[in-house]
């Protein structure tokens, strides 16, 4: 497994709005244009990117922290990555910190470079 992935981004909407997007697959899909479903509470299963990514909500602290277990469809059976999102108020917006561990070596660079296009750029367009 590869090294840790870490990003910190400033976003325009409230932590509550990004918490909603990160815990509701359908709303995530509405913002990103990538079909999603599921999410909800701790233990809930979700699918994003038309089923390419499946996961489970591991720990949720409303509007503050989200921990998810992820796997992509083409990963080896039983291989999961742990993703942690921390949301903090920053002026009228949000500072989102993302930490990810356990990405397989052969897809590490692909996963690392896709955070911007699939998460941070669409989230930056959310203003309410």
What distance in Å separates the CA atoms of residue 85 and residue 65, rounded to the nearest whole number? Answer: 6
Residue 57 domain flag: yes
Query: CA nearest 99: which of 113, 112, 118, 117?
Result: 112
pTM of the full structure: 0.94
What's the chain's length in residues? 128
Interval 60-106: pLDDT, tens: 999 999 999 999 999 999 999 999 999 999 999 999 999 999 999 99
Q: What is the pLDDT of residue 127?
A: 85
Q: Could you give the 3-state DSSP secondary structure of residue 77?
A: coil
Residue 127 domain flag: no
Q: Vertex 122, ends 23 and 103: CA angle to 5°?
A: 65
Residue 128 domain flag: no
Q: How confident is the model at residue 20 (pLDDT cuts 50, 70, 90)?
A: very high
CATH number of the domain that residue 85 is part of: 3.30.530.20
DSSP bridge partners of 9: 96
Residue 65 domain flag: yes
Upper half-sphere CA count for residue 25 (Cβ side, 13 Å): 22
What distance in Å separates the CA atoms of residue 74 and residue 99, rounded to the nearest whole number? Answer: 22
Average pLDDT over the chain reads: 95
Residue 69 domain flag: yes
Q: Which domain holds residue 81?
A: 5-122
Helix H or strand E segment including 69: strand 65-72
Interval 34-50: pLDDT, tens: 999 998 899 999 999 99
| Secondary structure tally for the chain: helices H, strands E | 4, 7
Q: How confident is the model at residue 3 (pLDDT cuts 50, 70, 90)?
A: confident
What distance in Å separates the CA atoms of residue 17 and residue 123, rounded to the nearest whole number? Answer: 10
Q: What's the domain count of the chain?
A: 1
The whole-number average pLDDT for the span 14-34 is 96
């Amino acid at each position: 497994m590869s090294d840790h992935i870490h990003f910190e981004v400033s976003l325009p909407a409230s932590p509550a709005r990004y918490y909603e997007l990160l815990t509701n697959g359908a709303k995530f899909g509405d913002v990103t244009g990538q079909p999603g479903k599921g999410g909800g509470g701790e233990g809930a299963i979700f699918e994003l990117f038309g089923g390419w990514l499946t996961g489970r909500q591991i720990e949720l602290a409303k509007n503050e922290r989200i921990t998810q277990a992820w796997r992509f469809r083409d990963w080896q059976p039983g291989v999961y990555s742990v993703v942690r999102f921390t949301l903090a108020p920053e002026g009228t917006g949000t500072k989102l910190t993302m930490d990810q561990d356990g990405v397989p070596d052969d897809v590490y660079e692909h996963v690392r470079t896709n955070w911007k296009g699939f998460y941070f750029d669409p989230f930056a367009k959310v203003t309410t």
